[in-house]
Chains A and B, each alone.
Chain A
Amino acid sequence: MTDQQKRGGPLAGVRVVELTKVWAGPYAGKLLAFLGAEVIRIESEGSLDVTRTYGVKDINKAPGFQAVNPQKLSVQINMKSDEGIALLLELVKESDILIENLRPGAVDRLGLGYEQVKKHCPNIIYTSMGMYGAEGPLSYQTGYAPCFAALGGLSALSGYEGAAPAGVNIRYADSTFGAAAALASVAALNHRSKTGEGQFIDVSAVESMTSMIGDAVMDFSLNGAVRQCDGNRHEDMAPHGVYPCRDGEWICIAVSDDQAWQRFAPALNLAGGAGALAGRFDTFASRKAEESELDDIIANWTASHDASELAATLQGLGIAASKSFSSVDLISDHHLWARGFYADVEDSEGQSRPIVGPSWKMSRGATINKAAPKLGEHNKYVFGELLRLSDEEQERLHTAGVTR
Chain B
Amino acid sequence: MSALNEVTILELSERVSGEYCGKLLAEFGATVIKVEKTGTGSPTRRMGPFGKDTSGPENSGLFAYLNAGKQSVELNLDSASDHATLLELLKTVDVLIDDHGAKWLRQYDLAPDSIAERFPGLVFCAITAYGLDADDDRQYAEDLNVFHSSGLGYHTPSGAADDLPPLKGAGRFLPSYEAGLDAALCISATLYERRSSGLGQLIEISAQEVLASRVDYVLGQMIAGDMDVSPSRHTFDLGGPAGIFPCADGFAYLWMSAPPHWDALRQLLDNPAWMNSFPERWMELDCTAERVAECRKHITQWLSTKQKHQVAEQAQQLGLTLVAVNNAGDLLASPQYQFRDYFSEIEHPVLGKFHIPTSPYRLSATPIKTNVAPLLGQHQYSMPNAAQFGEPQ
Give CA–CA (A221, B65) in the complex, Å: 11
Task: Enumerate chain A residues within 8 angstroms of B321, measured Cβ to Cβ.
Answer: 142-144, 147
Contact pick for B327, options A9, A183, A226, A364, CB 8 Å:
A226
The CB with the most chain A CB atoms within 10 A, among B165, B212, B246, B354, is that of B165
Interface string of B356-375 (1 = CB under 8 A from A): 11011111111000000000
A222 cross-chain contacts in B, Cβ below 8 A: 49-52, 61, 351, 354
What separation, in Å, do the CA atoms of A205 and B192 have in the docked complex? Answer: 25
**Given A202-B361, A359-B209, 12 additional A-B pairs, CB 8 A:** A63-B221, A64-B217, A141-B323, A168-B157, A175-B216, A179-B181, A187-B28, A188-B366, A190-B191, A208-B360, A212-B174, A234-B142
**Chain A min CB distance to B360 (Å):** 3
- Any chain A CB within 8 A of the CB of B168? yes
A184-219 near B? 1/0 per residue, CB < 8 Å:
101111110111011111111111101111111111
Complex: chain B residue closest to A242, CB-CB: B165
Q: Which positions in B face A, CB cutoff 8 Å?
A: 1-4, 6, 24, 28, 47-53, 61-62, 64-66, 116, 130-131, 133-142, 144-145, 148-158, 162, 164-174, 177-179, 181-186, 188-193, 195, 199, 201-206, 208-210, 212-224, 226-227, 229-233, 235-238, 242, 244, 246, 251-253, 255, 312, 316, 321, 323-332, 334-337, 339-340, 342-343, 351, 354-357, 359-366
Identify which of residues 1-58 in chain A touch chain B, using a CB-to-CB cut-off of 8 Å: 9-12, 14, 23, 27, 30-31, 35-36
Alpha-carbon separation in the docked complex, A132 to B252 (Å)? 17
- Decide if B366 touches A139 in the complex (CB within 8 Å): no
Contact partners of A112 in chain B: CB under 8 A: none
| A12 to B199 alpha-carbon distance, docked (Å) | 15
Are A187 and B188 in touch, CB under 8 angstroms?
Answer: yes
- The reply to whether A221 and B343 contact each other, CB–CB distance below 8 Å, is yes
User: Are B360 and A327 within 8 A (Cβ)?
Assistant: no
The residue in chain A whose Cβ has the minimal distance to the Cβ of B252 is: A150
A289 / chain B contacts, CB cutoff of 8 Å:
none
Q: Are B49 and A225 in contact (CB under 8 A)?
A: yes
Question: Is A342 located at the chain interface by the 8 A CB criterion?
Answer: yes
CB within 8 A of A361: which of B155, B204, B356?
Answer: B204
Q: Which residues of A contact B209 (CB under 8 A)?
A: 336, 339, 341, 357-360
* Complex-state Cα separation, A217 to B170, whole angstroms: 12
Checking A67, A165, A204, A361 against B203 with a beta-carbon cut-off of 8 angstroms, the contacting residue is A361
For B167, give its contact among A176, A177, A195, A231 (CB under 8 Å). A231
Roughly how many angstroms separate A364 CA and B200 CA in the complex, as a whole number? 9
* B contact residues around A160 at 8 Å (CB): 164, 167
Q: Is the CB of B329 within 8 A of A318?
A: no
Take A146-B255, A171-B218 as given contacts and tell me if A325 and B149 are in contact as well, using a CB distance cutoff of 8 Å: yes
Nearest Cβ on chain B to A82's Cβ, whole angstroms: 28
Q: Separation in Å of the A182 CB from the closest CB of chain B?
A: 6
Q: Which residues of A contact B188 (CB under 8 A)?
A: 183, 186-187, 189-190
Tell whether A315 is near chain B: CB-to-CB under 8 Å.
Answer: yes
